Amino acid sequence: MKKILFFIVVFLVVGGYMIKNSLDTDLETKEEKITFAKEFFNWVKGVGGNTKDVVGYATQKNWLPDVNDTDNNTEDNNVNEDNGGDD
Protein backbone atom coordinates (compact mmCIF):
# COMPACT_ATOMS: atom_id res chain seq x y z
CA MET A 1 0.00 0.00 0.00
CA LYS A 2 2.89 2.34 0.74
CA LYS A 3 4.29 1.85 -2.75
CA ILE A 4 0.97 2.73 -4.36
CA LEU A 5 0.63 5.85 -2.22
CA PHE A 6 4.23 6.81 -3.05
CA PHE A 7 3.54 6.36 -6.78
CA ILE A 8 0.41 8.53 -6.59
CA VAL A 9 2.24 11.31 -4.73
CA VAL A 10 5.14 11.26 -7.19
CA PHE A 11 2.68 11.26 -10.12
CA LEU A 12 0.85 14.30 -8.73
CA VAL A 13 4.08 16.18 -7.95
CA VAL A 14 5.48 15.56 -11.43
CA GLY A 15 2.16 16.57 -12.98
CA GLY A 16 2.08 19.74 -10.90
CA TYR A 17 5.63 20.56 -11.91
CA MET A 18 4.79 20.10 -15.58
CA ILE A 19 1.70 22.31 -15.24
CA LYS A 20 3.74 24.99 -13.47
CA ASN A 21 6.31 24.95 -16.26
CA SER A 22 3.70 25.04 -19.01
CA LEU A 23 2.07 28.09 -17.37
CA ASP A 24 5.51 29.71 -17.22
CA THR A 25 4.90 31.04 -13.72
CA ASP A 26 6.78 31.14 -10.45
CA LEU A 27 3.62 31.33 -8.31
CA GLU A 28 4.49 34.64 -6.68
CA THR A 29 1.13 36.38 -6.99
CA LYS A 30 -2.27 35.29 -5.78
CA GLU A 31 -3.60 35.20 -9.35
CA GLU A 32 -0.81 32.89 -10.48
CA LYS A 33 -1.50 30.56 -7.57
CA ILE A 34 -5.24 30.50 -8.36
CA THR A 35 -4.54 29.83 -12.04
CA PHE A 36 -2.18 27.01 -11.11
CA ALA A 37 -4.69 25.50 -8.67
CA LYS A 38 -7.47 25.59 -11.29
CA GLU A 39 -5.27 23.95 -13.92
CA PHE A 40 -3.94 21.36 -11.48
CA PHE A 41 -7.36 20.32 -10.19
CA ASN A 42 -8.80 20.23 -13.72
CA TRP A 43 -5.93 17.92 -14.66
CA VAL A 44 -6.53 15.70 -11.60
CA LYS A 45 -10.25 15.58 -12.47
CA GLY A 46 -9.38 14.57 -16.04
CA VAL A 47 -7.02 11.85 -14.84
CA GLY A 48 -9.74 10.54 -12.52
CA GLY A 49 -12.29 10.51 -15.34
CA ASN A 50 -9.90 8.72 -17.69
CA THR A 51 -9.10 6.16 -15.00
CA LYS A 52 -12.80 5.57 -14.44
CA ASP A 53 -13.33 5.06 -18.19
CA VAL A 54 -10.44 2.60 -18.49
CA VAL A 55 -11.51 0.58 -15.43
CA GLY A 56 -15.12 0.54 -16.64
CA TYR A 57 -14.03 -0.69 -20.06
CA ALA A 58 -11.73 -3.35 -18.59
CA THR A 59 -14.40 -4.71 -16.24
CA GLN A 60 -16.83 -5.18 -19.14
CA LYS A 61 -14.42 -7.46 -21.01
CA ASN A 62 -14.63 -11.22 -20.77
CA TRP A 63 -11.24 -12.16 -19.32
CA LEU A 64 -11.99 -15.85 -18.74
CA PRO A 65 -11.27 -18.54 -21.33
CA ASP A 66 -14.21 -20.08 -23.18
CA VAL A 67 -14.67 -23.42 -21.45
CA ASN A 68 -17.89 -25.40 -21.40
CA ASP A 69 -17.87 -27.72 -18.37
CA THR A 70 -20.75 -29.82 -19.73
CA ASP A 71 -18.82 -30.68 -22.90
CA ASN A 72 -15.66 -31.49 -20.94
CA ASN A 73 -17.47 -33.81 -18.53
CA THR A 74 -19.23 -35.64 -21.38
CA GLU A 75 -15.97 -36.19 -23.25
CA ASP A 76 -14.26 -37.44 -20.07
CA ASN A 77 -17.09 -39.90 -19.43
CA ASN A 78 -16.99 -41.20 -23.00
CA VAL A 79 -13.23 -41.75 -22.82
CA ASN A 80 -13.59 -43.67 -19.54
CA GLU A 81 -16.40 -45.84 -20.96
CA ASP A 82 -14.43 -46.63 -24.12
CA ASN A 83 -11.29 -47.64 -22.20
CA GLY A 84 -12.97 -49.73 -19.53
CA GLY A 85 -15.00 -52.24 -21.56
CA ASP A 86 -13.08 -55.11 -23.24
CA ASP A 87 -9.87 -55.66 -21.27
**Per-residue model confidence (pLDDT) at position 66:** 84
Among 4, 37, 44, CA closest to 20: 37
**Per-residue model confidence (pLDDT) at position 67:** 81
Whether the per-residue pLDDT at 73 is higher than 70: the answer is no
* Average pLDDT rounded to a whole number, residues 23-42: 95
The residue extents of the domains of the chain are 1-39
Whether the per-residue pLDDT at 78 is higher than 60: the answer is no
What pTM did the predictor assign? 0.66
Q: What is the pLDDT of residues 48-69, one digit of tens each?
A: 999 999 999 999 998 888 887 6
C-alpha–C-alpha distance, residues 76 and 38, integer Å: 64
> Are the C-beta atoms of 68 and 76 separated by less than 8 Å?
no
